[in-house]
C-alpha cells in the first residue's frame, strides 16, 4: 500500500513536471514565434517605407524632368533662326553658353530613369532612392541654368518683344478675316491691315533692331487698330451692351469629341454665339483639332485654357510659361490665329500669370456665373444659370460635360425669353479685351495696376 502510494505520488510529481516543462516549452516557442513575426513585420514595414521613399524620389525626378523638358521647349522659341540675328550675334558668349546648355539638357533628357522595383530589397531601394534624388537635383539645377541662359539670349536679341509682336499680328489677322463685310466703318479694317503690314516689315526686315521700343510701339498700334475694328463690328451688329442685357456664354475644357459637336449644333440652330477656352493637349488630338477648326470657322473666339488644365498660380515661371505658350502655339498652328484671351483653370491666377498674359498680348477672362455642371444634373445646371445670370454676365460652362450638352438648349431658350442677348467676349466688353486686364463680367474687372484680389465677383452659394 505504501509502495503503491509512493508510486502514485511519484507519478503525480512526474506528470506535474511534464506539464511544467510543456508549458515552459510552449512559452518559449510562443515568444520566439511572436518575436520572429514581429521582427518580420518590422522588416516588412521598413521595406514598404523604403519603397515609398524611392517612389517619392522618382516622382520628384519626374516633376523636375518635366520642368527641364519645358525649359528646353521654351529655349526653342528663343534660339535665333533669323539669318540676320544669327549673323549679328555669332560667337557671342551668351549664345555659346545657350547652345551648350541646350545640348546638355538634351543629354540629360535622353538618360533613362529607373523605376523603383516593388519587390526590391531595403538596401537596393535605399541605394536607388539616393541615385534618383541626386539626379532630380541635377535636373532641377540644369532647368534653372537653361532658363537663365534662354533669358540672356532673349534679352540680347529682343526675342520676347518680337514674339509678342508676332502674336499680335496673328491676333490682328483674325479680326481682318472674321469681320469682312461686318463693320460699320470699313476704314478701320483697312487701317488694321496696314498696321499688320507695318508690323511685318519690322519683324521680317533685314536690319537688326536693337531697341525694344519699336516692337512695343507696333504692338500698341496693332491693339489700337484691333480695338477700332471691334468697336466698328459691334456698331454693325447693332448691339450696345451698355444698353442691352448682353451675356457671354463661355465653354471651358474642350474640345471634346462626344459633346462639343452637340453644343455646336445647338448654337448653330439657335443662332447663338459663344466663346471657347480650349485645353492645349486636347487641341493637339486629331478629332479635337478638327473641332477647334470648326469652332474658329463658325466665328467663335478661341481662348487659352492652359496645356493640361494646370493650376497656374502654383507653378514656377518655366512651367507656367510652357503651359500657356505651348497652348497658344497649338491653337495658332491648328486654327491659324493666336488667342486673344486666357482663362486660368480654377480661376487661379497671380501676378506671374498676368505678366505672362501681357507677354502674350492677351486678357485674362474669368466669369461671374457658373452652372456647376461638373457636379450637377442638367435641370440643376439650367436652374443655376437662369437664376444667377445678370446683364453683362460671363457664364462658365464646360462643353465636355453631359449636363451642359443636355441643358444648353433650354438655357439659351430661357435666357432669350428673359430678354438676354448672347454675344462673344469681345462684343460684351465693347472692344478688344485688353492685355493684362482681368475680367469677371462686362463691368467687373481689374486693370493691370490693380493688385490681385480674392474674387468677390462670384455669385454666392454655388
The residues carrying an active-site annotation are: 252, 398
Binding to Zn ion by residue 252, rule CB under 5 A?
yes
Residues 120-149 that bind Zn ion (CB under 5 A): none
Give how many residues touch Zn ion by CB under 5 A. Answer: 3
| Sole binder of Zn ion in the list 280, 345, 433, 444 (CB under 5 A) | 345
Helices (H), 79-121: 83-88, 93-110
Binding to Zn ion by residue 399, rule CB under 5 A?
no
- The C-alpha atoms of residue 287 and residue 308 are separated, in whole angstroms, by 17
**Which of the ranges 17-25, 38-46, 313-321, 338-346 carries the binding residues for Zn ion, by CB under 5 A?**
338-346
Q: Is 258 or 269 the residue whose CB approaches Zn ion more closely?
A: 258
Q: Report the interhelical angle of 122-157 vs 159-178 (nearest 10°).
A: 80
What contacts 310, CB < 8 A, 6 or more positions away? 319, 323, 345
**Shortest Cβ 289–Zn ion spacing (Å):** 19
Residues in the chain: 462
Q: Is 161 or 345 the residue whose CB approaches Zn ion more closely?
A: 345
Phi then psi for 244, rounded to 5 degrees? -95, 155
What contacts 26, CB < 8 A, 6 or more positions away? none
**Which of the ranges 5-13, 83-91, 253-261, 424-432 carries the binding residues for Zn ion, by CB under 5 A?**
253-261
**Shortest Cβ 253–Zn ion spacing (Å):** 4
**Which of the ranges 294-302, 322-330, 342-350, 352-360 carries the binding residues for Zn ion, by CB under 5 A?**
342-350
3-state secondary structure of 243: coil
Would you call 210 exposed, middle or buried from its count of C-beta atoms within 10 A (0-12, 13-18, 19+)?
exposed
**Shortest Cβ 348–Zn ion spacing (Å):** 10
Q: Is 179 or 256 the residue whose CB approaches Zn ion more closely?
A: 256
- The C-alpha atoms of residue 371 and residue 402 are separated, in whole angstroms, by 12
| Sole binder of Zn ion in the list 151, 253, 330, 399 (CB under 5 A) | 253
Q: Is 168 or 295 the residue whose CB approaches Zn ion more closely?
A: 295
- The C-alpha atoms of residue 353 and residue 342 are separated, in whole angstroms, by 10
**Which of the ranges 130-138, 227-235, 295-303, 345-353 carries the binding residues for Zn ion, by CB under 5 A?**
345-353
**Shortest Cβ 51–Zn ion spacing (Å):** 35
278 DSSP β-pair partners = 304
**Which of the ranges 30-38, 204-212, 339-347, 373-381 carries the binding residues for Zn ion, by CB under 5 A?**
339-347
Which residue's C-beta sits nearest to Zn ion?
252
- The C-alpha atoms of residue 364 and residue 379 are separated, in whole angstroms, by 30
- The C-alpha atoms of residue 321 and residue 164 are separated, in whole angstroms, by 13
Return the closest-CA partner of residue 161 out of 218, 93, 76: 218
> 398, 374 in Cβ contact below 8 A?
yes
**Shortest Cβ 306–Zn ion spacing (Å):** 8
Binding to Zn ion by residue 161, rule CB under 5 A?
no
What contacts 117, CB < 8 A, 6 or more positions away? 124, 125
Q: Is 151 or 253 the residue whose CB approaches Zn ion more closely?
A: 253
Q: Is 229 or 397 the residue whose CB approaches Zn ion more closely?
A: 397
- Return residues touching Zn ion (CB under 5 A): 252-253, 345
Amino acid at each position: 500500500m505504501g509502495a503503491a502510494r509512493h508510486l502514485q505520488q511519484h507519478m503525480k510529481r512526474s506528470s506535474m513536471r511534464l506539464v511544467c516543462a510543456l508549458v515552459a516549452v510552449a512559452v518559449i516557442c510562443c515568444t520566439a514565434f511572436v518575436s520572429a513575426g514581429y521582427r518580420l513585420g518590422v522588416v516588412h514595414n521598413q521595406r514598404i517605407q523604403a519603397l515609398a521613399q524611392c517612389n517619392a524620389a522618382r516622382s520628384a525626378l519626374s516633376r523636375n524632368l518635366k520642368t527641364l523638358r519645358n525649359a528646353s521647349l521654351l529655349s526653342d522659341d528663343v534660339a535665333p533662326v533669323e539669318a540676320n540675328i544669327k549673323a549679328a550675334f555669332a560667337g557671342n558668349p551668351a549664345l555659346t553658353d545657350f547652345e551648350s546648355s541646350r545640348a546638355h539638357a538634351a543629354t540629360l533628357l535622353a538618360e533613362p530613369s529607373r523605376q523603383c522595383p516593388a519587390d526590391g530589397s531595403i538596401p537596393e531601394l535605399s541605394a536607388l532612392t539616393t541615385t534618383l534624388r541626386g539626379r532630380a537635383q541635377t535636373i532641377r539645377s540644369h532647368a534653372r541654368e537653361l532658363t537663365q541662359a534662354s533669358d540672356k539670349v532673349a534679352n540680347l536679341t529682343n526675342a520676347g518683344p518680337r514674339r509678342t509682336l508676332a502674336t499680335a499680328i496673328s491676333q490682328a489677322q483674325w479680326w481682318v478675316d472674321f469681320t469682312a463685310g461686318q463693320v460699320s466703318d470699313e476704314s478701320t479694317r483697312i487701317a488694321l491691315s496696314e498696321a499688320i503690314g507695318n508690323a511685318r516689315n519690322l519683324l521680317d526686315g533685314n536690319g537688326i533692331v536693337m531697341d525694344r521700343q519699336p516692337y512695343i510701339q507696333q504692338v500698341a498700334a496693332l491693339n489700337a487698330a484691333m480695338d477700332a475694328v471691334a468697336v466698328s463690328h459691334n456698331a454693325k451688329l447693332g448691339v450696345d451692351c451698355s444698353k442691352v442685357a448682353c451675356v457671354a456664354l463661355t465653354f471651358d475644357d474642350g474640345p471634346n469629341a462626344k459633346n462639343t459637336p452637340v453644343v455646336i449644333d445647338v448654337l448653330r440652330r439657335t443662332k447663338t454665339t459663344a466663346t471657347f477656352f480650349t485645353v492645349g493637349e486636347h487641341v493637339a488630338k486629331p478629332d479635337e483639332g478638327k473641332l477647334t477648326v470648326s469652332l474658329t470657322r463658325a466665328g467663335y473666339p478661341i481662348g487659352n485654357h492652359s496645356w493640361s488644365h494646370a493650376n497656374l498660380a502654383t507653378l514656377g515661371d518655366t512651367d507656367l510659361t510652357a503651359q500657356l505658350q505651348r497652348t497658344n502655339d497649338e491653337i495658332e498652328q491648328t486654327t491659324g490665329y493666336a488667342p486673344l484671351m486666357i482663362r486660368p483653370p480654377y480661376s487661379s491666377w497671380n501676378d506671374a500669370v498676368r505678366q505672362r498674359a501681357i507677354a502674350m498680348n492677351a486678357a485674362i477672362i474669368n466669369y461671374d456665373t457658373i452652372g456647376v455642371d461638373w457636379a450637377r444634373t442638367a435641370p440643376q445646371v439650367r436652374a443655376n444659370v437662369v437664376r444667377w445670370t445678370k446683364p453683362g454676365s460671363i457664364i462658365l460652362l464646360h462643353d465636355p460635360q453631359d449636363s451642359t450638352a443636355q441643358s444648353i438648349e433650354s438655357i439659351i431658350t430661357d435666357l432669350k425669353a428673359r430678354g438676354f442677348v448672347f454675344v462673344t467676349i469681345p462684343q460684351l466688353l465693347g472692344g478688344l479685351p485688353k492685355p493684362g486686364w482681368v475680367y469677371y463680367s462686362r463691368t467687373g474687372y481689374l486693370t493691370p495696376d490693380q493688385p490681385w484680389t480674392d474674387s468677390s465677383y462670384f455669385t454666392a452659394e454655388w
